[in-house]
Amino acid sequence: MIRVRFAPSPTGMFHVGGARSALFNWALAERYGGQFVLRIEDTDAARNRPEWTEGIISALAWIGIHGENPVFEGPYFQSAYEPQHREAVAKLLADGKAYHCDCTREQLEARTGSEHRGYDGHCRDRGLTSGAVRFRTPDEGVTVVDDVIRGRVEFPNDAQEDFVIARTDGSPLYVLANAVDDITQSITHVIRGEEHLSNAARQQLLWPALGATPPVWAHLPVIVNEQRKKLSKRRDKVALESYRDEGYLAEAMVNYLMLLGWGPGDDREIMPWPEMAPLFRLEDVNSASAFFDEKKLRAFNGEYIRALPLAEFIARCDPFLDPSWDRQVFAEIAPLVQTRISVLSEVSANVDFLYLPEPVFDQASWDKGMKNAPREILSGYLARLETVSFDPESLKTALEEVGAEHGLKLSKAQAPIRVALTGRTVGLPLFESIHALGPARTQA
């Protein structure tokens, strides 16, 4: 059985790159009837906060990865496996595949004459019984990582230093703990970001040293921004939670993230998960960097919003509306809103004029909308509203007539009316909005 694992570290936010990795793992497990193992890398005490772990679980659940599906297993916590980590270190020491080292960085630099040189193996044969523990790497040949996405990747052994697997106090480092956890949990495939390829050689050495067959490796392409730089939380909008809170739909986000480095093999892009997952193959993942295009994601989201049944759209909008607003009033105008927004957070600005005592005031909108005979248009239309039938078509005809009296086409005549009623120069269809607002409030 295929067993994949997703092993995030709590960081206070869930990176979209991590979400992409989780989805690729999930797709593989689901397609082949395997298991998706969630393991929280919680050994860093500074990051070991319960709320951050809950944030990971919540973010995964939002994109459809949760324990209600039999494919899901966990969450497990790396800290729970520390006894196995220490046993592995003891085994490697006993087998002569690791050794203690008490060298400091200053001593190494003094011996090699360079701050950039790797460890020189000084303690290999000193027979120390304390200090940090280093893994003894082969002196000759190459370590080969057969990567499903990148092919055969060779690491010359003479360029690999004897790397540390445990600290002086015996606590394991990530590279050792990760290998031991994967072996303990019978992981068959390791699918993760390209940035981890550099430590794959070390794990490729550790697995057989611990008596296990290395897993299938697959290192996913890096995700970049529009400057083709790797997405960074310091520079880019990368938190999955921020997109959720802004009103992106989970199904749109899943669809878009799945296309960052992979495609279903035809020209389709908008494709729900039940159609995508059965088509997913690691062999089809591209090794080239993947561009995270927020504009394209936004367009995807708009497509998914417009495809929602009206009742479901109304329900999903509810958290983005003021609790005091009459939901029946919103339900009447919701069909117009659904065709015009790209994210659910845009709903409020489109309908707030129906509820606020006064329209919002925006200086830029006022300056733009009140250019062409605004006083004459407003007063003329106000007079027409005394007698006009309040259906959208009659309201439109009345404004066309007022505009014609002042040499203005409807597009120009609408501007001051829209700003006077909504405070903005863009929004829902004007005459349907006036109809929803009603005669008394419109005149006011």
* Degrees to nearest 5, angle at CA 245 with 52 and 192: 50
Closest CA to 362 of 286, 422, 434: 422
| Cα(18)–Cα(7) distance, integer angstroms | 9
Name the one residue in this structure whose structure tokens are 């927004």.
341
Which of these, 30, 20, 26, 19, lies nearest to 5 by C-alpha position? 26
User: Which residues are within 8 A (CB) of 48 and not within 5 positions of it... i.e. 6 or more apart?
Assistant: 10, 42, 79
DSSP alpha helix (H) spans, 358-425: 363-369, 374-384, 392-405, 410-422
DSSP 8-39: PPP-SS-BHHHHHHHHHHHHHHHHTT-EEEEE
Reduced to 3 DSSP states, what percent helix, strand and coil does the chain have, rounded to the nearest 5? Answer: 50, 15, 40
Angstrom distance (rounded) from CA 272 to CA 308: 13
Choice among 229, 233, 296, 409 that is catalytic: 233
Q: 402 with 380: CB under 8 angstroms?
A: yes
User: Token pair for residue 252?
Assistant: 């749109």
- Strand partners for 111: none
Cβ-Cβ contacts under 8 Å for 375 (sequence gap 6 or more): none
Whether 229 is catalytic is: no
d(CA 6, CA 78): 12
Q: Nearest Cα to 21, choosing from 42, 2, 6? A: 6
- What's the chain's length in residues? 444
DSSP-assigned letters across all residues of 115-181: SS-----TTTTS--SSSEEEE---SSSEEEEEETTTEEEEEEGGG----EEE-TTSPBPHHHHHHHH
CA-based nearest residue to 64, from 19, 3, 16, 18? 19
CA distance 421 to 367: 15
Contact 224, 320 (CB under 8 A): no
Q: What residues act catalytically?
A: 233
